Chains A and B, each alone.
Chain A
Amino acid sequence: AQSVTQLGSHVSVSEGALVLLRCNYSSSVPPYLFWYVQYPNQGLQLLLKYTSAATLVKGINGFEAEFKKSETSFHLTKPSAHMSDAAEYFCAVSGYNQGGKLIFGQGTELSVKP
């Protein structure tokens, strides 16, 4: 069985500060891991994904995430927050050859203060 836990339902940072959103997963098969972003009243947009190639994955809008198998983590980071980063962020997992059956975490709402 697969599951995803996002630590912290709400994170608040100041503009220009480091963004760190935490995600831990559980999977009985080699996982594929994703971060999606959801802006208000919009659908989910893929930020980045890990597919067993490089463990450090770079995504759009300056975000990146590092897959750490020993810690079963896939935390999302951005060196400097921008006001436009305020949104809901979801971590998700799928397994090898289980394409499309994403298991999502409960989401983390990111607020950015001026």
Chain B
Amino acid sequence: EAGVAQSPRYKIIEKRQSVAFWCNPISGHATLYWYQQILGQGPKLLIQFQNNGVVDDSQLPKDRFSAERLKGVDSTLKIQPAKLEDSAVYLCASTDPRGDRLNTGELFFGEGSRLTVL
């Protein structure tokens, strides 16, 4: 079974530029998450999708971050304009609620997209 795919793996941009990250979850996983992992910290949830609808985006800085999952499969996370403090690894994760009957929150993560803002 293929895992969660993310691209690009690495991106370096100047502040105030824009960047987009792409995620393809495990086939059949209805729930998709974007987490931000700043160096030296644990991942922090940015947004959660159920199919193509947003379940929770309370931690997403909406003045500069946006995310979509138009067809309920792939997702894109965009940052515009980027700030220095956005330097982080952006992790995509997915899960299949039908396979996680207790709804425990076991997630399957991609390798992440590392963003450096200069």
Contacts and interface: CB of A to CB of B under 8 A. Distances in A.
Contacts of A32: 102, 104-105
A12 to B, nearest CB: 17
Interface residues of B, number: 28
Label chain A's interface by main secondary structure.
loop
Contacts of A49: 104, 106
B109 A101 contact: no
Contacts, number: 75
A43 B105 contact: no
Nearest to B6: A43
A99 B50 CA distance: 12
Interface of A: 4, 9, 32, 34, 36, 41-46, 49, 51, 90, 92, 94, 96-102, 104-107
Interface of B: 4, 31, 33, 40-45, 48, 56, 91, 93, 95, 97, 100, 102-112, 114
